[in-house]
C-alpha cells in the first residue's frame, strides 16, 4: 500500500483528522488516537488488536506484522505499510473507528449502510 492509498483510507472515515506525532503523520477521530505512521520503519500503529490476535498475525505474516518493546503492553500491532493489504487496513481501522467515534457518527454511518 502506498502512502497516498493509506491516507485516502484513513481520511474516508467520518471525523478523521490529520496531525503529526513524533514527526510523522498521525490521525485522530474526535480527538482520540486513530492510527499513525511510524517514521522509523514506515509501519502503521493498529490499535484494538488483542494480544492473542497480535501473536497470530505476527506468526502468520511476519513480513508485515511486528512489534517493538514500546508497544508490547498495549493491545496493538505494527504493520509495515508497503506489505499491508489495503482491505485489511480498512478492517482494522473500522474496528477502531467504531470504538472511538462519537455515537452520532456511528449511528449515521450504520443508517447509511442500511439504506
Per-residue confidence (pLDDT) for residue 113, from 0 to 100: 66
Name the pTM for this structure.
0.91
What residue segments make up the domains of the chain, in order of their start? Answer: 3-105
Q: What is the DSSP letter of 84?
A: S
Residue 27's H or E segment, with its range, is strand 24-29
Please choose, from the candidates 57, 97, 103, the residue with its C-alpha nearest in 3D space to the C-alpha of residue 77.
57
What is the tens place of the pLDDT at every residue in 9-50? 999 999 999 998 888 889 999 999 999 999 889 999 999 999
Per-residue confidence (pLDDT) for residue 115, from 0 to 100: 52
Place of cell 454511518: 109
Per-residue confidence (pLDDT) for residue 39, from 0 to 100: 87
Q: How far apart are CA 100 and CA 65, in angstroms?
A: 23
pLDDT for 108 beyond 90: no
Fold of 3-105: 3.90.1150
Indicate the average pLDDT of the chain. 93
pLDDT for 110 beyond 80: no
Residue 35's H or E segment, with its range, is strand 32-38
Amino acid at each position: 500500500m502506498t502512502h497516498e492509498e493509506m491516507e485516502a483510507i484513513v481520511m474516508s472515515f467520518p471525523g478523521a483528522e490529520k496531525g503529526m506525532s513524533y514527526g510523522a503523520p498521525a490521525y485522530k477521530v474526535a480527538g482520540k488516537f486513530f492510527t499513525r505512521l511510524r517514521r522509523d520503519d514506515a509501519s502503521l500503529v493498529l490499535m484494538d488488536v488483542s494480544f492473542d490476535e497480535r501473536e497470530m498475525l505476527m506468526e502468520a505474516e511476519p513480513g508485515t506484522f511486528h512489534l517493538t518493546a514500546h508497544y508490547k503492553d498495549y493491545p496493538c500491532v505494527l504493520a509495515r505499510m508497503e506489505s499491508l493489504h489495503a482491505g485489511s487496513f480498512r478492517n482494522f481501522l473500522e474496528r477502531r473507528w467504531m470504538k472511538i467515534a462519537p455515537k452520532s457518527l456511528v449511528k449515521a454511518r450504520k443508517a447509511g449502510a442500511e439504506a
